[in-house]
């Protein structure tokens, strides 16, 4: 028995040693897992003001989530306020002129024109009677021809004055001409358009967000003066998020649009999520060109691959690293 133990102990040691060597051999022969690293990105919108002004109020803070239409800041522009007062007064004046044109002459003006016409008509009738009497006397040889001619000229002059007075009376009854009324209406429209324009500028003094998202950059403070077109707030749209990979073209085999593959996010506990390829485009040559050999060969370019999560991933934010194993890429070559 003792002899048997003496034989088995060295044999057991040899077998254990053989097992260790075999395990190490398998471990060393197992290919190392290679990963491609990507980065989470999302749509960022830089909001700028359309007019120059001084910031009077800021209603949000960095990191705050805002809904579409939320007021972000308020500008103070005394110049626009003064301009609005001017164009509003001009609109009132144009409206008054239009009302005057539409209403026509006042009743007192109409009555005055009528009285002048009656006076001129009576003067013409008297001049006609005078002419007829003098013409009869002229026929009897009592008055000279000169007197008759003077009476006839006075009659014609009185008739013309009567006709002119009647025209003035008719114009007073008819009111303002059609062309004048149209001109007055056009002036009102022009003034109204000026008011609308200035009011639109006044609306731009309050900057509102056109989308829902997170405020990641706030570049102004109350009291600062900003110019038109100057970006003041950056909104991050967390509903439009994707992952960017830069992959050399010799590793693009099988990577096609709409392909789905799993990725892991270390910041989220290495959980695996399915993503779908939605964008494939080469990067600029100045940053990615590389020859396969110093003496020639073909150029290798790097492509930007974008993949979007199939489902919403809670906690996923731009800047996070994303890993994908080469073996998990569609038909990727080692």
Burial class (CB in 10 A: 0-12, 13-18, 19+), 163: middle
Residue-level pLDDT at 151: 72
0.85 cut: is pTM over it? no
Q: What is the mean pLDDT of residues 98-102?
A: 60
Residue-level pLDDT at 58: 92
Could you tell me which residue, 94 or 6, shows the higher pLDDT? 94
Whether the pLDDT of residue 232 is over 80: the answer is yes
Residue-level pLDDT at 28: 44
Where does the pLDDT of residue 297 fall: very low under 50, low under 70, confident under 90, or very high at 90 and above?
Answer: low
Most confident of 122-126, 191-195, 263-267: 263-267
Whether the pLDDT of residue 219 is over 80: the answer is yes
Residue-level pLDDT at 132: 79
Whether the pLDDT of residue 247 is over 70: the answer is yes
Could you tell me which residue, 48 or 110, shows the higher pLDDT? 48
Whether the pLDDT of residue 84 is over 90: the answer is no
Residue-level pLDDT at 185: 72
Residue-level pLDDT at 9: 56
Q: Which of 87, 82, 62 is nearest to 72 (CA)?
A: 62
Residue-level pLDDT at 144: 79
Mean per-residue pLDDT of the chain:
76
User: Each residue of 236-275: b (16+ CB within 10 Å) or e?
Assistant: bebeebbbebebeeebbeebeeebebebbbeebeeeebeb
Residues contacting residue 90 through CB under 8 Å, at least 6 positions apart = 191, 194
Give the tens place of pLDDT for each residue, 280-295. 888 866 555 555 555 4
Residue 311 tokens read as 């489902």
Cα-only R_g, the chain? 48
Q: Are 246 and 303 in contact (CB under 8 A)?
A: yes
Q: What is the mean pLDDT of residues 119-126?
A: 75
Give the tens place of pLDDT for each residue, 27-79. 444 445 577 889 999 999 999 988 888 888 999 999 999 999 999 998 888 77
Residue-level pLDDT at 237: 92
Q: Which of 103, 118, 113 is nearest to 170 (CA)?
A: 113
Q: What is the mean pLDDT of residues 78-94?
A: 72
Q: What percent of the chain is modeled with pLDDT above 90?
A: 20
């Amino acid at each position: 028995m003792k002899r048997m133990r003496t034989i088995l102990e060295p044999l057991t040691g040899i077998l254990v040693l053989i097992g260790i060597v075999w395990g190490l051999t398998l471990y060393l022969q197992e290919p190392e897992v290679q990963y491609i690293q990507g980065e989470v990105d999302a749509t960022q919108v830089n909001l700028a003001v359309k007019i120059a002004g001084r910031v009077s109020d800021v209603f949000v803070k960095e990191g705050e989530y805002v809904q579409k239409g939320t007021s972000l800041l308020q500008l103070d522009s005394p110049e626009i306020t003064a301009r609005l007062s001017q164009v509003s007064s001009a609109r009132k004046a144009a409206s008054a002129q239009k009302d005057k044109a539409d209403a026509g002459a006042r009743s007192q003006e109409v009555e005055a024109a009528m009285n002048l016409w009656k006076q001129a008509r009576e003067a013409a009738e008297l001049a006609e009677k005078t002419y007829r009497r003098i013409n009869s006397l002229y026929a009897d040889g009592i008055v000279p021809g000169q007197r008759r001619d003077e009476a006839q000229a006075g009659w014609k002059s009185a008739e013309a004055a009567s006709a002119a007075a009647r025209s003035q009376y008719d114009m007073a009854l008819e009111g303002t001409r059609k062309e004048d009324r149209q001109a007055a209406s056009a002036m009102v429209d022009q003034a109204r358009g000026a008011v609308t324009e200035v009011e639109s500028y006044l609306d731009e003094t309050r900057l509102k967000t056109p989308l829902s998202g997170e405020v990641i950059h706030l570049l102004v403070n109350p009291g600062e003066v900003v110019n038109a077109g100057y970006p003041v707030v950056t909104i991050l749209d967390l509903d439009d998020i994707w992952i960017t990979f830069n992959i050399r073209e010799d590793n693009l085999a099988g990577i096609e649009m709409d392909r789905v593959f799993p990725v892991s996010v270390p910041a989220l506990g290495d959980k695996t999520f399915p993503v779908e390829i939605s964008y494939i485009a080469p990067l600029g040559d100045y940053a990615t060109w590389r020859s396969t050999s110093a003496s020639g060969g073909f150029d290798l370019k790097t492509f930007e691959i974008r993949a979007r999560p199939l489902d919403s991933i809670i906690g996923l934010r731009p800047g996070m690293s994303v890993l994908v194993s080469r073996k998990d890429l569609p038909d990727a070559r080692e």
